[in-house]
Amino acid sequence: MSTGATEARAAELTTNLDAVRRRLAAACRAAGRPADDVELVVVTKFFPASDVRLLAGLGVTDVGENRHQEAEAKAAECADLGLRWHFIGGLQSNKAAAVAAYADVVESVDRRKLLAGLARGAVERGAGEATCLVQVSLDPPDAEGRSGCDPAELDALCAAVAETDGLRLGGLMAVAPLGGDPAAAFAELASYAAQVRSSHPAATVLSAGMSGDLEEAVAAGATHVRVGRAVLGPRPTIQ
């Protein structure tokens, strides 16, 4: 990328990031929370490592990725930046150990089968415990492509994470159903979070909300929002 193009991209990211930060601060104030009460995770999938470097220069500390191969390469290329990497995509059990080798937070833990691999990767990494968020489904039971564990299985899965050496139960993650009311979905999620905290008081993370519904998520108690498009713009056409 030429110097001019880099400067233009930096200016675009600065403008977008400022707008998102203002939205977050306003949402926190509206919810009666401190203006800096919510952590921003910028989702950089399909965007180059050069954008990650620009974001780090603008004060971004947490970066989210959905696809293992892309995430692994970017984390290695940007290892000098001291970022926290969040893996937020669907996770195959045979990739779990590899993901835990670079991801500081794995937000998409939705079944027990992932735990052994995640623990192995965390131990091999030598960085202590990997923080895991259990992804709970907010979709109707008959929804196609439903992601996340069934709410009826939430307590058992959280207990399994908490009992696995090498893993730490950080809290919950969820995505609002497509076409549904995000406020209602996140209110449901807040009730699940309270349920989990009653058994696991340290599981305080609630990752919810994206570019289009971060205000509703903050109102429901989200501690982290995952924003891609509003910061980085439309996804590149070549993927």
Q: Note whether residue 238 is domain-resident.
A: no
Are residues 176 and 185 in contact, defined by beta-carbon separation less than 8 angstroms?
A: yes
Is 196 in a helix, a strand, or coil?
Answer: helix
CA 126/CA 161 separation, integer angstroms: 19
- Domains of the chain: total: 1
User: In sequence order, what DSSP letters do the residues of 41-105 get, joined into one string?
Assistant: EEE-TTS-HHHHHHHHHTT--EEEES-HHHHHHHHHHTGGG-PEEEE-S---GGGHHHHHTT-SE
pLDDT tens sequence for the chain (239 residues): 688 899 999 999 999 999 999 999 999 999 999 999 999 999 999 999 999 999 999 999 999 999 999 999 999 999 999 999 999 999 999 999 999 999 999 999 999 999 999 999 999 888 678 999 999 999 987 777 668 999 999 999 999 999 999 999 999 999 999 888 999 999 999 999 999 999 999 999 999 999 999 999 999 999 999 999 999 999 886 54
DSSP state of 150: -
Instruction: Say what the pTM is.
Output: 0.95
Q: How far is residue 37 CA from its own chain's centroid?
A: 16
Number of CB atoms found within 10 A of residue 156's CB = 10
Range of the domain at 12: 3-232
The CATH number covering residue 145 comes to 3.20.20.10
Q: Note whether residue 157 is domain-resident.
A: yes
Are residues 41 and 225 in contact, defined by beta-carbon separation less than 8 angstroms?
A: yes
